[in-house]
Amino acid sequence: MVGSSHEALHRVFQKDPALLTRAFQKVLHVAFPEPRDFAVLNADLTEVEPVERRVDTLMRVETDEGAYLLVIEAQGKKDEDKRGSWPYYLSYLYAKYRCEPVLVVITQNSATARWAARPIRLGLPGWHALTVRPLVIGPDNVPVIAGEREAERDVPLAVLSAMTHGRGRGATAILEPLATALRTIDAESAAVFGQFVDSCLADAEAREIWRDLMAETHYFFRHPVAEKVREEGREEGRVEDRGEMTLRILEWRRIPVPESVRERVLACDSLERLETWAQRAVHAVRAEDLFLGEDDEG
């Protein structure tokens, strides 16, 4: 089972696909054609039933120079088995889609970033049949965006900054400017980005600071203490907003929402339960995963 930071690190690009091509230019300093369209593809690369192979996020990018497949892998630590699967992923995807695959690895760990960046060479010494060169995004090349104006100029990049630095000392300096910048974008995106950042903060103090900031800006993810001091008269409206937010998160992740799930979410009058469902929606595979374990409680 993958951790929540693992999910957040690659799903942030599903939320804002253009962020990845900006990361090519601003973080990796790699030229990439101007995108015209993005499409998130099925990440399952399984060919034979007993052997499951799945990338974290797979996107097709259409440009004036042709189509590219962006293979995004979130990597928490060194894993030689996973590294050994990357050449297979790229070869399989090229054979299936007949367009150029590009491997991008994103991590919060500097040592893991250096490990992932090493070229993978298969074949004879000096005559390699296949060379794989991952592009790596991590704390060593993503800038610490600690200024409000800088964060407001490119909010998704500021989110990426907070996520990749989420296990280091630089995270705290990013949080307040980012929280201010999130007020400049639509509430739905701000809520989802806020949850992604929360998932990537390893330090308990940094996470508490972030949850306090989110409570102050009235996004769906709130610090428990802040919830206790809500004005009673606004309770009903906030419950309704939280239910709708939960459904929107599932919808932008392209997860089908049966009418039974929609009715159950919208009928719920517990803000605490709705917040739990909203957090689950970020990682759910099916809409019904919102209710895991609850139907057995009696």
What per-residue confidence (pLDDT) applies to 100? 92
What per-residue confidence (pLDDT) applies to 50? 40
What per-residue confidence (pLDDT) applies to 188? 83
What per-residue confidence (pLDDT) applies to 12? 79
What per-residue confidence (pLDDT) applies to 151? 93
What per-residue confidence (pLDDT) applies to 248? 81
- Taking only the tens of pLDDT, the chain with its 298 residues reads 334 687 787 777 787 878 877 888 888 888 878 887 777 777 666 554 444 567 888 889 898 888 999 999 999 999 998 888 999 999 999 998 888 999 999 999 999 999 999 999 998 888 888 999 999 999 999 999 999 999 999 999 999 999 999 988 778 889 999 999 999 998 888 888 888 898 899 888 888 889 888 887 654 444 343 343 334 434 555 667 778 888 888 887 888 899 999 999 988 888 888 888 888 887 888 899 999 877 654 4
CA distance 263 to 259: 6
What per-residue confidence (pLDDT) applies to 251? 82
What per-residue confidence (pLDDT) applies to 26? 82
Phi and psi at residue 23, in whole multiples of 5°?
-65, -35
How many residues make up the chain in this entry?
298
Q: What is the pTM of this model?
A: 0.64
What per-residue confidence (pLDDT) applies to 235? 55
